[in-house]
């Protein structure tokens, strides 16, 4: 079977985006447009992925430095799609099948493209088309009296009758590399734009007796290109609607499907309930019967069964055990690991913290660089003083310890099993097992004291 080479055209400037960022680096679903297309090419098992870049090229290449197998080809002058493909041809295996995609068409699906690739492997030129109610500005598919594709005419070159055609060219096609190379070499720029149109190879294929097979995509948004912020926003909403449909089909309850955003991958268990304006980023996994309140952000996290996350919580690169209760207004920072049944309350922040079975940190507390055992109660206003201005130090609180409110634990420090730290204490060093540690200053009462009053001017 012929190998597949994918050529992605990504050299456009994107002036209408009104941005210093190259167009293909703008994001849909939390990923750059070009990343979406590269991922689709990978799902097709492409042996070669070639990106033709131009404006902002070094910035684009740098953004994809973690994909070393991508071949980058510069189109120094933007002289049309045919010219762009010509730049890529030397990087392709002459015996392969070539699929041409676009860096600003992010939602094209591998399942849509597979029939094109299969058809091209049979020696045909496979073309992806779509029917639009308003095709203004797009190249029209012109068919002969038998209904076969005979050529593509660009909008500016079309006659009035041709402009009435509703089937348009998406620009996406697949064909054998050797045929493509021969036709591209014949292209000229004798048109109103002075460009080399890749679409002109359709007429050349017909001339040479190569069958042209058109595949019509059912969903226009899948082949929608992005040229401005409005189109970017519209495709983002389409993408998120598809994510919501998938979540609902998998058994999750979305209290408003239009107000949940998935900017990565989200896997849900059974009977999950997600309230409005929740954002998922990176790779997130939710267990069975998880309940998430409104206005939460969850990134790169694993949430166990029966967890309840109340409103306005931020969970980042953390693991939450079964039956835990989080929030409201809690922040779990990277490397937080909560065991089953842990309670993290309002205005609590954790970072690089392991908190054991059934422990509670319920109010206005910072726990950083800490290891907390099972059955521990941490009172309101407690902080682990983990940073000395140069280095981080660890706090260890062993099983069933009790930390009174408004305590400062100055790391490195260890609180033994069943020990108690009295409210308002500042503790360093080690508190032995089972003892009560108090560091309050002695109380002093001043009798007959008068509160100051304002002096009259």
Sorted by sequence, the CB contacts under 8 Å of residue 278 that are 6+ apart come out as 259, 260, 261, 292, 294, 295, 296, 297, 298
Quick one: the chain helix, strand, coil %, rounded to 5?
20, 35, 45
Report which of 261, 336, 249, 267 is spatially closest to residue 296, judged by C-alpha positions. 261
Report which of 335, 334, 304, 198 is spatially closest to residue 326, judged by C-alpha positions. 304
User: What is d(CA 163, CA 157) in angstroms, rounded to the nearest whole number?
Assistant: 9
Q: How far is CA 157 from CA 80, 193, 310, in A?
A: 15, 10, 59
Task: Provide the CB-side half-sphere exposure for 140 (13 A, CA).
Answer: 20
Residue 83 annotated among the catalytic residues of the structure: no
Question: What angle do helix axes 110-120 and 33-43 make, rounded to 10 degrees?
Answer: 50
3-state secondary structure of 25: helix
Q: Count of residues for the chain?
A: 457
Beta bridge partners of 366: 349, 383
Of residues 26, 363, 393, 448, which has the active-site annotation?
363
Asked if 187 and 201 touch (Cβ cutoff 8 Å), the reply is: yes
Asked if 7 and 99 touch (Cβ cutoff 8 Å), the reply is: yes
User: What is d(CA 332, CA 25) in angstroms, rounded to the nearest whole number?
Assistant: 29
User: What is d(CA 199, CA 187) in angstroms, rounded to the nearest whole number?
Assistant: 10
User: What is d(CA 124, CA 45) in angstroms, rounded to the nearest whole number?
Assistant: 20
Report which of 364, 359, 354, 358 is spatially closest to residue 328, judged by C-alpha positions. 364
> What residues act catalytically?
363
């Amino acid at each position: 079977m012929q190998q597949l080479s994918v050529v992605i055209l990504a050299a456009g400037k994107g002036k209408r985006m009104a941005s210093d960022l190259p167009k293909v680096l703008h994001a849909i679903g939390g990923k750059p447009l070009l990343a979406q297309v590269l991922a689709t090419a990978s799902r097709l098992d492409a042996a070669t992925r070639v990106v033709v870049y131009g404006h902002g090229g070094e910035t684009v290449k740098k953004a994809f430095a973690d994909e070393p197998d991508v071949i980058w080809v510069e189109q120094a002058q933007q002289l049309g799609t045919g010219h762009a493909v010509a730049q890529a041809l030397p990087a392709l295996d002459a015996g392969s099948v070539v699929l041409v995609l676009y860096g600003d068409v992010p939602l094209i699906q591998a399942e849509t493209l597979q029939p094109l690739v299969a058809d091209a492997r049979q020696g045909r030129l496979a073309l992806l088309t779509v029917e639009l109610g308003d095709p203004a500005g797009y190249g029209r598919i012109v068919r002969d009296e038998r209904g076969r594709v005979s050529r593509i005419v660009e909008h500016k070159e079309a006659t009035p009758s041709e402009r009435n055609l509703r089937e348009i060219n998406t620009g996406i096609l697949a064909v054998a590399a050797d045929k493509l190379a021969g036709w591209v070499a014949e292209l000229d720029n004798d048109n109103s734009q002075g460009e080399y149109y890749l679409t002109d190879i359709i007429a050349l294929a017909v001339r040479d007796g190569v069958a042209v097979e058109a595949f019509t995509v059912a969903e226009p948004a899948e082949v929608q290109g992005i040229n401005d912020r409005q189109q970017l926003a519209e495709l983002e909403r389409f993408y998120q609607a598809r994510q919501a449909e998938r979540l609902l089909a998998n058994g999750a309850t979305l209290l408003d499907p239009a107000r949940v955003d998935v900017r990565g991958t989200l896997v849900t268990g059974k009977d999950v309930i997600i309230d409005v304006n929740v954002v998922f980023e990176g790779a997130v996994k939710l267990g069975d019967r998880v309940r998430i309140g409104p206005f939460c952000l969850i990134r790169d996290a694993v949430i166990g069964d029966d967890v309840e996350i109340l409103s306005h919580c931020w969970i980042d690169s953390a693991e939450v055990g079964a039956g835990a209760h989080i929030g409201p207004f809690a922040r779990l920072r990277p490397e937080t690991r909560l065991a089953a049944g842990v309670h993290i309350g309002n205005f609590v922040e954790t970072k690089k913290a392991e908190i054991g079975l059934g422990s509670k940190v319920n109010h206005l507390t910072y726990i950083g660089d800490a290891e907390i055992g099972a059955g521990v109660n941490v009172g309101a206003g407690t902080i682990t003083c983990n940073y000395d201005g140069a280095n981080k130090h660890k706090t260890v609180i062993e099983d069933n310890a009790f930390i009174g409110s408004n305590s400062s634990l100055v790391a490195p420090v260890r609180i033994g099993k069943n020990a108690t730290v009295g409210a308002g204490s500042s503790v360093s060093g080690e508190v032995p097992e089972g003892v009560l540690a108090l560091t309050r200053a002695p109380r002093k009462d001043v009798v007959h004291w008068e509160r100051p009053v304002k002096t009259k001017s």
